[in-house]
């Protein structure tokens, strides 16, 4: 199936039969990625007395409970409700699901004992009005990201001015292949989150951050259309399945 889409006065065609999935799947074992000092998620059959919800154990259906945290176990999309005392839910923040997007690859720079993504790096890769969404793939890129245990690793993060730059460029949806856009341990400052959402002065309620994506190396940097679909959770964040489509100019 193909469709025509206009963006910035340019018409593109998209082949919906060629999706590029950049989400991580959730699995109930230690091969699942983990952050924020959590244990592995669990996927296990319901047990009621002698009944076990598993066909191989005699049940007519497989009937599993799933125990996980969207922020620490899988690709997830979050809204400003992640950092506010008042409730804001992802279902209320994200009302449309298809966006012009740019995929960029960035090798974080060393800064003291940290690795950071700087404003200068982003300025060299992205300009104002180029897209509604930005996907940041950190380098080096490895399939090990699909099962990495991030706790106590001090992963790379966005400097505050880098997040401000994306906001000022009009980016409404920021995606990254790390557990957070902020430093693992920052004393609760959450500088990049707050800068991107412009919180609390003029909060961008419609803006989202998606973390723990995984972009295979075979997917080239460049312009795409993004389908961003969080699950319908009444929560500040929900597991999501971002999918890219490579457009062709008409």
- Domains belonging to the chain, first-starting first, are 2-24+75-249 (3.50.30.50)
pLDDT of 233: 97
d(CA 246, CA 231): 24
Structure confidence at residue 36 as a pLDDT band (50, 70, 90): very high
* Nearby residues of 81 by Cβ (< 8 Å), 6 or more positions away: 87, 88, 89, 90, 93, 235, 236
d(CA 156, CA 86): 29
d(CA 139, CA 106): 6
SS3 of residue 71 by DSSP: helix
Six-digit token string for 191: 């500088």
Residue 1 has pLDDT above 90, yes or no: no
Indicate yes or no: pTM above 0.75: yes
Q: What is the pLDDT of residues 109-148, one digit of tens each?
A: 999 999 999 999 999 999 999 999 999 999 999 999 999 9
């Amino acid at each position: 199936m193909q469709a025509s889409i206009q963006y910035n006065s340019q018409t593109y065609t998209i082949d919906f039969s060629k999706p590029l999935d950049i989400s991580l799947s959730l699995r109930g074992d230690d091969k699942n990625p983990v952050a924020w000092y959590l244990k592995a998620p669990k996927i296990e059959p319901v047990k009621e007395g002698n009944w076990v919800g598993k066909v191989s154990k005699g049940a007519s259906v497989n009937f599993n409970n799933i125990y996980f945290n969207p922020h620490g176990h899988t690709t997830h999309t979050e809204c400003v409700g992640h950092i506010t005392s008042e409730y804001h839910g992802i279902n209320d923040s994200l009302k449309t699901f298809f966006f012009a997007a740019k995929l960029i690859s960035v090798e974080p720079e060393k800064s003291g004992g940290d690795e950071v993504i700087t404003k200068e790096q982003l300025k060299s890769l992205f300009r104002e009005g180029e897209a509604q969404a930005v996907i940041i793939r950190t380098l080096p890129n490895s399939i090990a990201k699909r099962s990495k245990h991030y706790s106590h690793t001090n992963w790379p993060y966005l400097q505050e001015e880098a997040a401000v730059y994306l906001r000022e460029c009009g980016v409404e949806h920021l995606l990254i292949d790390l557990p957070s856009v902020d430093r693992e341990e920052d004393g609760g400052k959450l500088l990049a989150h707050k800068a991107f959402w412009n919180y609390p002065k003029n909060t961008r309620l419609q803006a989202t951050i998606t973390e723990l994506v995984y972009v295979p190396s075979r997917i080239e940097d460049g312009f795409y259309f993004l389908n961003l679909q969080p699950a319908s959770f009444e929560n500040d964040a929900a597991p999501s399945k971002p999918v890219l489509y490579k457009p062709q100019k008409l």
